[in-house]
Structure 1
């Protein structure tokens, strides 16, 4: 083939992979075209399947560029609004992020093709395992950025039934397996691969019947408060008391007839211990009405600042078991900090360069990886602050058999009316499905919502309104398989798929 024609075909293949990756944004919230991965991933593999490992790397890289550039484009809103950079510089920073993240799908496709060239059909069935390994690396390296896992595309479909066994990452394994089977069907035109596809699509209905969780018959009356305070004034020292008064005024509408009231991340903008006196008053008022209050707040301990959540009011089932004071045990300190937003690597070098690297509250210390659940009205709330909810293994590590609710508080105001908050909510819903507990999510401007143990909506507030949200939430008992073994189940699943692919090869030999 002439060199010019080969180059032309290579360019078209790369553009096709770029477009395939970009199209995946439509499969996530708020668009939720969950069928798309079942076309996009087989099309990607079709383009890659006969390529050398080095060419597979290139195509995977272009796929990643499209995937992350479209899927994470909402980050531009915060950089452009609050970063203090020229738009060209903002775009350049985003391109660096997308270029870095694209290394991981490139690595997965390179490894898949290398193994296929080396081991034939046995290597062919390694894709779910190597994809899982690349995604695990993406979620760990340089503190991790596990956003846009393919499994989240199925949060609202029946395939979410896999999550209570193998987690959201397990759904990614299934998507990759179905893609391989689709390619096999197109190449071999045999009934076996379509039959396995049908089995994988139907299996969640069986798994749902085998999951040992059930409702106890008890209910909790929970209210969430959404303050909708503009990010541009939130950290202004003159706004500390107006911010607090707004939350108190909204809470007065609901606290008398609710068991627990929850405020969002950093709702109290004046740090502990400077608010101890007012918090003690709020604590006493809540205790009088047998109400628990959970709020986000900044906590100062010595020279360390913590992005925290504390519980006030009635913590026990029949009364107050531990009175509030600064440093009391009924608190959670964020562990998984957001780079640039909550800590700045090489801060002495970067902070003078632009406001982006010197945002308010960007010098936090880490809390412990595993912490005790928060206690309110006798119930236990396994907690994750904002970005932490995207780390399934950390949420699992903080879950206990006694957990009654998955609680996450956030402030997505940074990202405006983009698709970022909807993706964040979709991720949080997946945690509810994995662990089989109701999800309670309180935010400053949305999406504030409560779901049941299957991730189905119980109540949802409108975005960008100062409001309260109320729901009667059924309590749940029992443990999902994922609650027992966490993310290890996805690795077992990928290993079984590799063994299943190898079995016919061994039999023929």
Structure 2
């Protein structure tokens, strides 16, 4: 079948639509089957475009993806960043347009370097290498990776094998092979079937329970972000979390307060924390998200343990413009958004030991860190349960918190570890080692969520290696299709 030729403009519109479709694969929509469709729309006819046109197609995809899927950044800038509507829209547009450049670069390089053979393979490999670049360049932004949606799809059993990037690879490959199938290259049906049917033969669980289930209580204070750092907000936070702790009717093994639950430093909050701990049973562990400062004027976003807990964790991967200000000397004072009332954080050391709580080792990830698959895998290797605390108030009533929860679920599945997730106003949840939500608190309410998690021992293949085998595989898939000399033409 001869491939239909489209004008470049139609390609750009298709790419914009494909970006929106990719957003629909993620929470809260979870239409995971649209992922291969979106990848196929990006692959179709790509070899007929010039490198510049391919770059513009990639950029259009990024505009659709982040314009629809990361629009929550407007809430952070406008509602909580003291920024007017025109400037907030401009900054959000700049954010979206900048992130879209990752896809522009990926498809420009693909079209510049890929020859006419094995284009379906080269495309899938190049896509994953582009996601790798987006994960690490400029501190990284691995949000809305193509594979994330497949925590709920038949591809999910691949997650413990190779993580989110393997899911992205197989999604992109399904899309490119699907296009070839529509060109009546019937042989492509076999590899597509293999990608989707092999998971039926994979183990349903790679890790094993160790010890008795832990009874957990996760406290959600639902404090207004706009007053949180005022004297009134501090009093309300202290009263809310003290009351929620004292009202616990059962005797949980673990009580968790979310990220920066008390808007003050640990030395200021210590009397409040000790009063809360005194109201709990002696063998109960209390973990609290809190800000710390040391004698050298350094500040840390941390989790500390009290009672039947030992150790602390200091966040290592900080959020630009949220926890520190790049180019501070130039930007501070320009607009109110760059003068948020929070000191610049310092990253904690990379090799921190797990927190020991209620006889269980907890691997920690604070807020944004949970979206980094390899960072979480490194925390999970020496832990039996994963703990993440977050302040998702910054997202407002957008889809951001639901996307955040979905990524936490995938981290549980990748590592074969349950995840305990305590947030300021939702989504607070308990997730089992299969990535399933077993308990969940309502958003935007003061709530106490109780549940059980089973500590797990052992390792998934992904937990042992991280993502580098998939990145290497993606590079190997690209190499056979590279244009080695001259200017090749023809179909893939």
> For the superposition of Structure 1 and Structure 2, which TM-score range results when normalised by the shorter chain?
over 0.9
Equivalence map 1:356-367=2 (5 Å): 356-367=337-348
- What's the CA shift string for 1:225-248, capped at 9, x where partnerless? 000001011111233233112111
After superposing the two structures, state which structure 1 stretch, 247-256 or 78-87, moved more.
Answer: 247-256
Instruction: Find the counterpart in structure 1 of residue 411 from structure 2.
Output: 431
2:226 — aligned with what?
Answer: 232
2:488 corresponding residue in structure 1: none
Q: 1:346: which partner in 2? A: 327
The equivalent of 2:127 in structure 1 is 131
* 1:103-118 equivalent positions in 2, closer than 5 A: 103-117=101-115
Out of 464, 467, 482, the residue aligned to residue 462 of structure 2 is 482
Helix, strand or coil at the partner of 2:147: helix
Residue among 403, 408, 420 paired with 2:388: 408
Find 1:277's aligned residue among 238, 255, 271: 271
Is 2:71 aligned against 1:79?
no
Are 2:165 and 1:169 equivalent residues in the alignment?
Answer: yes
Q: How does 1:441-460 map to 2 (within 5 A)?
A: 441-460=421-440
Q: Secondary structure at the match of 1:140?
A: helix
For residues 166 and 255 of structure 1, what CA distance do their matches in structure 2 show?
A: 42
Moved more, 78-87 or 431-440: 78-87
Query: Equivalents in 2 of 1:339, 1:360: separation in Å?
Result: 15
Q: Give the secondary structure class of the aligned counterpart of 2:172.
A: helix
CA distance in 1 between counterparts of 2:163 and 2:352 reads 21
Of residues 71-80 and 267-276 in structure 1, the stretch that sits farther from structure 2 once superposed is 267-276
Which of 285, 293, 309 matches 1:292? Answer: 285
Is the Cα–Cα contact under 8 Å of residues 165 and 489 in structure 1 kept in the other structure? Answer: no
Deviations 1:55-90 (A, max 9, x none): 211111111111111111111112111222221111
Q: Are 1:204 and 2:175 matched, yes or no? A: no
**Contact 2:43/2:123 (8 A) holds in 1:** no
Alignment length, in residue pairs? 477
**Conserved in 2, the CA contact under 8 Å of 1:282 and 1:312?**
no
Q: Describe how 1:253-332 pairs up with structure 2 within 5 A.
A: 253-254=247-248, 256-286=250-280, 288-302=281-295, 303-315=297-309, 330-332=311-313
How far apart are 1:222 and its partner, in Å?
0.7
Secondary structure at the counterpart of residue 106 of structure 2:
helix
Contact kept? 1:170, 1:493, Cα under 8 Å: no
Give the CA deviation at 1:251. 1.3
Q: TM-score, normalised by structure 1?
A: 0.89
Over aligned residues, Cα RMSD in angstroms? 2.1
| 1:153 maps onto 2:149 in alignment | yes
Secondary structure of 2:265 counterpart: strand
| Separation in structure 2 between the aligned mates of residue 166 and residue 373 of structure 1, nearest angstrom | 24
- Aligned residues of 1:282 and 1:313 also touching (Cα < 8 A): no
Answer whether contact 1:173 1:493 (CA < 8 A) is retained. Answer: no
Q: Residue 252 of structure 1: CA displacement? A: 1.7
Check conservation: 2:22, 2:34, Cα contact below 8 A. Answer: yes
SS of the residue corresponding to residue 459 of structure 1 reads: strand
* 1:194 and 2:189 correspond: yes
In the alignment, the residues of structure 1 paired with residue 146 and residue 104 of structure 2 have an alpha-carbon distance, to the nearest angstrom, of 15
Q: Following TM superposition, by how much is the alpha carbon of 1:138 offset from its aligned partner in structure 2, in angstroms?
A: 1.1
Asked if the contact 1:340–1:362 (Cα under 8 Å) also holds between the matched residues in 2, the reply is: no
What is the SS of the residue equivalent to 1:309? strand
TM-score by length of structure 2 reads 0.92
Contact 1:221 1:472 in 2 (8 A): yes
Q: Is the 8 A contact 1:434 1:482 kept in 2?
A: yes
Instruction: State the shift of 1:345 in Å.
Output: 1.2
Cα offsets for 1:251-308 (capped at 9, x unmatched): 122275110000100012221222333434444554x431001010110112011111
In structure 2, list runs of 5 or more residues that go unmatched: 483-492
Q: Which moved more, 1:379-388 or 1:352-361?
A: 352-361
Q: CA deviation at 1:498?
A: 5.5
Q: Who is 1:507 aligned against? A: none
Structure 1 portions without partners, runs of 5+: 1-5, 316-321, 323-329, 503-509
Change (3 A) 1:179 1:450: same
Distance in structure 1 (CA, Å) of the matches to 2:249 and 2:325: 39
Q: Partners in 2 of 1:212 and 1:22 — Cα distance?
A: 34
Segment of structure 1 superposing worse, 350-359 or 251-260: 251-260
How much does 1:495 deviate? 5.2
1:50 corresponds to which residue? 48
Alignment correspondent of 2:485: none
